[in-house]
Structure 1
């Protein structure tokens, strides 16, 4: 298993995200998210990197740049 290393800034971002989203646990993984059009019509660029998510379809995904 490969290690995932977070910077201090990424840990801060995750703490803020967790506080806002209010979920009990989060998974951190490497992922590729293709570009898409959001529900509000804005275009979201492709992303390749670390993400954090709770597994709830009602909550967001944090890109850990």
Structure 2
């Protein structure tokens, strides 16, 4: 899998783990465990996306998977 690294000062592993594709994989794992899952855009260049079971009121949710 090729992931573009927007900040060359960050490691390739960080770029992979903080990618949208990785957030999708984690959200899928949360979802298949029977929970609601969100992919959240953080606005932080070090971790631009994250997956979570719940989003807070100030999170920018990109994708929401509901059971």
Per the normalisation by structure 1, the TM-score is: 0.31
More helix by share: 2
Per the normalisation by structure 2, the TM-score is: 0.31
